[in-house]
Amino acid sequence: MPSRYSLPAAPPNTGSLYVRLSVAADDSNLSKDGMVEDCVRLCEAEGITVVAVHVDDGISGAVRDRPEFTEWLNDARECRADTLVTWHVDRLTREGINAAALILDAVEGKDPVTGRAVRAEARLLDTKGLDSAGDETTFRFRFVIGAELARGERVA
């Protein structure tokens, strides 16, 4: 049966991890190794094979074109992984809903220009209980509110 998507689906149960350590972080508050370990444990619990780990160290979440963040989204866009895993939604953006839409397009398999579905959806998980595989409305509210709270925490 032909697929309605222009790209094949990613290999099942494959995960791409993303963590970001902010400029202001130090050993007393967050550890990038600890965040990665938490993400790996979540993948193990969910039966997900980790295929990529992306870390942006010392780059503000207010920057959209962080190299590893972009590659993490591309893992879903280019069907290299069917699950995007992060430590917490506030590690993804400090831009709020503006960048949340970019992330949701990648998760929902949409072309960012046309908004049309062009590939299978990816799953988004964080170690704090966010899961796009659950109730869609609850997920979207939690995700967008989390992104907006992170925006409010940004220091100008």
Check pLDDT > 70 for residue 130: yes
Confidence band for 79, pLDDT divided at 50, 70 and 90 = very high
Cross-strand partners of 131: 125
Between CA 98 and CA 87 the distance in angstroms is: 20
Q: Domains in the chain, ordered, with CATH?
A: 14-153 (3.40.50.1390)
Name the residue with higher pLDDT: 4 or 71: 71
- Spatial neighbors of 78 by CB under 8 A, at least 6 apart, are 7
Q: Give the global pTM.
A: 0.89
Between CA 80 and CA 114 the distance in angstroms is: 22
Burial pattern 115-137, b for ≥16 Cβ within 10 A else e, equals eeebbbbbbbbbbeebbbeeeee
pLDDT at 22: 76
Name the residue with higher pLDDT: 134 or 25: 134
The SS3 assignment for 48 reads coil
Q: Report the mean per-residue pLDDT for the chain.
A: 89
User: Could you report the per-residue pLDDT of 57-70, keeping only the tens digit for each?
Assistant: 988 888 989 999 99
- Spatial neighbors of 91 by CB under 8 A, at least 6 apart, are 18, 19, 20, 35, 61
Q: Which helix (H) or strand (E) holds 86?
A: strand 83-86
User: Could you report the per-residue pLDDT of 13-60, keeping only the tens digit for each?
Assistant: 999 999 998 765 555 457 899 999 999 999 999 999 999 999 999 888
